[in-house]
Amino acid sequence: MLCKIEEFKYALTQSISLFDNEVIQSKNLSPNEIEPITKNIKLFLTTLKAEIESNNIDTYGKLISFLENIEISRRELIQLTGYLGKLLDVIQLLKPNTTRNKNAKKFFKNSLKRTGHDFLFNELSNEQKEDLFKEIINSAALYILLEVSNFAYYNSINPISSLRNSMGDRLPEEYFSELLAGWFIEDVLIKKLKSKGFNISQNGIDTSRKILFKRPKNMGNADICIEYNMHKYSIELQRVGKATKPNKINKKQNTEMIKTSLKSHKITNNDTLTLLWFGDNPKGIAESNSFLYNKLCIIKNSDVNDSTNSNIFFQDENIFIHKDYIENNSFINWEKLKKSEIKVIASKFNMVTQ
């Protein structure tokens, strides 16, 4: 089992706590919908924990004997055997310093490295980092428990099916690390802008920094709203780790336009700015386009939606931006922004929105 019986009990306790109504609701799930799906597994976990706490089980030999003597049908035993394997996955996630627990933290760092934003890792406090890690690990553990609850006991309701489709072949902690990496750089930017004197408010569905297992129909407003000197800007932040200069665009030769992927909902609101934060020397941006490295480019969404503006346009979930537009509308790099006075930063936003 790769851990002491006390550590096994600790993981059981943590697993059971993940079914609390407050936790379920924080994932945008209904406790009334989840309870029928999870009641059998919750009962098993609770019973097992009670047996261990009563000192009837203090070795793994006794644990195996307990499992062997459970009076259940062959079908239920097959289900339970499969579940125990997944339970071990949950234990390895929740118990500190296991390989899987450490890998969950590595996935987060790798997500930042993939887009060239790993240099930001030390911008937040250890407490803030631990909160991010905890959200990844607990969410991954709960996801595994819910998934097993659904498949092992043949429930017809699957409230997390769309999440599995989005995950593909990735482990849950790997997929969730991608989500939180985006929130991480938002928090880094917000922290710095606040320190400069900007008034900051956060909007949208991700303000709580809780991973949602079901996305709401209304995605909410822009991620960040900043105010200074009677000016107010709504901002959608996007980290960019891949950008290219296509040889041709719509069958025409291209020498100046940069292409990167962007979800269409980011640019639908003309009153919002989209801030593209290009990574510092990521694999997805060639050396020939190194002028992009670590730039923070402010995009006026109304420019994107203006069909007469040839410097920037949107097509097939990609945004195409002229090199000059990027140069004119960008902070040179993160270090320069950090050292700039609030008036200098505000003037850049003012210039773009004029």
Closest CA to 243 of 326, 131, 166: 326
Looking from the CA of 167 toward its CB, the CA atoms found within 13 Å total 19
What's the token pair of residue 113? 């490295």
Rounded to 5 degrees, what are φ and ψ at 27?
A: -95, 10
Question: Residues 131, 228: one domain?
Answer: no
Handedness of CA 193, 197, 222, 310 (dihedral sign): negative
CATH number of the domain residue 303 falls in: 3.40.1350
Residues 280, 116: contact at Cβ < 8 Å?
yes
235 strand-pairing partners: 224, 273
Residue 202 placed within a domain: no
Question: Residues 238, 346: one domain?
Answer: yes
Give this prediction's pTM.
0.86
Q: Which of 179, 200, 230 is the last residue of a domain?
A: 179
Dist CA 121 CA 190 (whole Å): 15
Q: Look up tokens 């003037």; give the residue.
A: 347
Q: Which of 129, 160, 179 is the last residue of a domain?
A: 179
Instruction: Say which DSSP state 264 is in.
Output: G
The total number of structural domains that make up the chain: 2
CB atoms within 10 A of CB 202: 16
Question: Residues 167, 255: one domain?
Answer: no
Instruction: Say which DSSP state 241 is in.
Output: -
Dist CA 151 CA 74 (whole Å): 17
Q: Which domain holds residue 158?
A: 5-179
Dist CA 134 CA 176 (whole Å): 11
Question: Residues 171, 306: one domain?
Answer: no
Q: Look up tokens 């195409």; give the residue.
A: 320
pLDDT of residue 46: 87
Residue 214 placed within a domain: no
Question: Residues 235, 120: one domain?
Answer: no
Residue 189 placed within a domain: no
Q: Look up tokens 């006026």; give the residue.
A: 300
Residues 158, 150: contact at Cβ < 8 Å?
yes
Question: Residues 57, 124: one domain?
Answer: yes
238 strand-pairing partners: 276
Dist CA 118 CA 112 (whole Å): 5
Question: Residues 173, 27: one domain?
Answer: yes
Residue 23 placed within a domain: yes
Question: Residues 165, 246: one domain?
Answer: no
Written as tens digits, the pLDDT of the chain (354 aa) is 456 777 778 888 899 999 999 999 999 888 998 888 888 788 878 888 888 888 777 776 777 777 677 665 445 555 556 667 777 888 889 888 888 999 998 999 999 999 999 999 988 889 988 999 999 999 999 999 888 877 655 555 666 777 878 888 899 999 999 999 998 999 999 999 999 999 999 876 677 788 988 877 655 566 799 999 889 999 999 999 999 999 999 889 998 999 999 988 888 888 899 999 999 999 999 999 999 999 999 999 999 999 899 899 999 999 999 999 999 999 989 999 999 999 999 999 998 887
Dist CA 114 CA 92 (whole Å): 25
Question: Residues 175, 309: one domain?
Answer: no
Contacts of 262 (CB under 8 A, 6+ apart): 238, 274, 276, 314, 317, 318, 319
Dist CA 106 CA 72 (whole Å): 40
Dist CA 265 CA 314 (whole Å): 11
200 membership: H or E segment, kind and range:
strand 199-202
Helix (H, G, I), strand (E, B) or coil at 14: helix
